[in-house]
Structure 1
Amino acid sequence: MIKARVIPALLLKDEGLVKTRKFNRPQYIGDPINTVRIFNELEVDELIFLDIGASPQARSPDLKILREIANECFMPLGYGGGLFNFEVVKSIFDIGFEKVVLNTVLHTNPHFISEIAEHYGNQAIVAAIDVKKNFWGHYEVWTLSGKNNTKKNPVEWAAELEQNGAGEILLTSIDREGTWEGFDINLTRKISDAVNVPVIAHGGCGKISHIKQVVEDGHAAAVALGSMVVYQQRNMGVLVNFPDKQHLESILK
């Protein structure tokens, strides 16, 4: 049994999958439906889809493509992007997603979590925190796919999200995202040690040893992978893949 979940985190933009680096320069990866079919064959335990254009453009999710994804997918699904009101969230659950990932909306409506939890439970809510260091090396929380600096302290914000009822936290280091250089262990440990809900570390993974490190040293309960599951290797072409499960078990047992 693997003690930490390993989850592909896939970025949606204009009905296609893309991959970014430090939240910039989205590169087209492929069709999300074909990608889901590959992950079905690889027997991945869970998938997260994040629409990186929905919130910055103040638009609702593309329910057509999400419905196609849900119909094709064999594993539990999470979705984030453009979730600004309960009716939109309900539509995501209605088409078959098990979790919603909330970020920007929580900065203007922090009690949105409890509204959703009343109907679907806290376990169905993932609060996303996107973090970047400022000029002086201090961590700050950003929203709108890294376009808006809230100036909030991520540790304090994580504690507030837990208090409001978040079931999990998806923690992304903007500085590490897409770099293959490894997770921000210090940031992950700060957040993981400050809350009692599972923290999903995201941003920077380039090899299996990075997963082991962020779980053991960063105290992450789960790991979300981007570049590693859509590229052959760093600076090489697209190849949808997933780490060997026996290898994962050997390092995460």
Structure 2
Amino acid sequence: MINKNRIIPILLLDNGEVYKTLQFTNPQYIGDPINTINIFNEKKVDELIVLDISKETKSKGPNFEILADIASEAFFPIAYGGGIQSLEQAKRIMGLGFDKLSFCSAVYNNPLLVENCVKTFGAQSVVGCLDFRMGPSGDINIYINNGNEKINWSVEKYMSAIEQLHVGELVINNIDKDGTFSGYNFDLLRKIKAKIKIPMIASGGAKSYGDISSLFSIVDISAAAGALFVYYGRYNAVLISYPSKEEKLEILNGK
């Protein structure tokens, strides 16, 4: 049987450049997105999620110029999220060559846009996103607007909204673990997955390929995503990593 699980890097854009964050804050410059895309081409990544976190994108909409450059260079499926405010913008992004659209804040404040994108492009082309932090009493607090705004929704209410929108997949993003390389919270991810039927992508906290392998063994998910693959090495050199074909087989087979 062919293993359908995927390993997906996440690329964060801020004003057209690639950045890394720590718990959604303190963005650190990494480099040029096109160079990064070309390296991922060489490494034959399964897929890539591009998220624009810049303040300008939130107010003015997507940077179509840089998105066109990214789409023209990538030889793998790409999803995009950030600042999509209308179906027309969504159509333009898909027309550039993107394969999927990702929505987080819109699930809460513009569900009609998400619904229309599902109707227009199909469920397989629309990804929902749940950004959350753990509260002091162990409760899950949901955030929008790049983790800056807490909303008064329970996980159950969010999952119900997601399923009613009929998106194809859901990214679960643990803000507390973003950029920490501290390992996944497997028990928490299992509890969240039990609340939803659609395929789930886990993001936040991956510390190694072995950690990703454990994730696939312990939690019923379709993909592992994150910024683990773009990091600073010795002497602050920027390194871009992705498992080789052999390493990926070991990860997916739990070795």
TM over 0.5: yes
Question: 1:20 corresponds to which residue?
Answer: 21
Aligned residue runs from structure 1 range 212-227, under 5 A:
212-226=213-227
Q: State percent identity of aligned pairs.
A: 35
Question: 1:62 corresponds to which residue?
Answer: 63
Give the SS at the match of 1:175: helix
1:188 Cα deviation from its structure 2 partner:
1.7
Aligned residue runs from structure 1 range 1-253, under 5 A:
1-54=2-55, 57-226=58-227, 228-231=228-231, 237-253=237-253
1:236 Cα deviation from its structure 2 partner:
5.3
In the alignment, the residues of structure 2 paired with residue 236 and residue 220 of structure 1 have an alpha-carbon distance, to the nearest angstrom, of 33
1:234 Cα deviation from its structure 2 partner:
9.2
In the alignment, the residues of structure 1 paired with residue 128 and residue 15 of structure 2 have an alpha-carbon distance, to the nearest angstrom, of 24
In the alignment, the residues of structure 2 paired with residue 90 and residue 198 of structure 1 have an alpha-carbon distance, to the nearest angstrom, of 24
> Does the 8 Å CA contact 2:106/2:114 hold for their aligned counterparts?
no
In the alignment, the residues of structure 2 paired with residue 167 and residue 55 of structure 1 have an alpha-carbon distance, to the nearest angstrom, of 28
* Unaligned ranges ≥5, structure 2: none
Give the SS at the match of 1:44: coil
> Does the 8 Å CA contact 1:125/1:166 hold for their aligned counterparts?
yes
> Does the 8 Å CA contact 1:132/1:141 hold for their aligned counterparts?
yes
Q: 1:85 to 1:174 in 2, by over 3 A?
A: same
Q: Which amino acid aligns with 2:222?
A: A
In the alignment, the residues of structure 2 paired with residue 10 and residue 190 of structure 1 have an alpha-carbon distance, to the nearest angstrom, of 27
In the alignment, the residues of structure 2 paired with residue 144 and residue 235 of structure 1 have an alpha-carbon distance, to the nearest angstrom, of 33
Greater CA drift, 234-243 or 194-203: 234-243
Q: Which amino acid aligns with 2:193?
A: S
The root-mean-square deviation of aligned C-alpha atoms, in Å, is 1.8
In the alignment, the residues of structure 2 paired with residue 119 and residue 40 of structure 1 have an alpha-carbon distance, to the nearest angstrom, of 29
* Unaligned ranges ≥5, structure 1: none
- TM-score w.r.t. the length of structure 2 is 0.93
What is the total number of aligned residue pairs between the two structures?
A: 252
In the alignment, the residues of structure 2 paired with residue 54 and residue 171 of structure 1 have an alpha-carbon distance, to the nearest angstrom, of 22
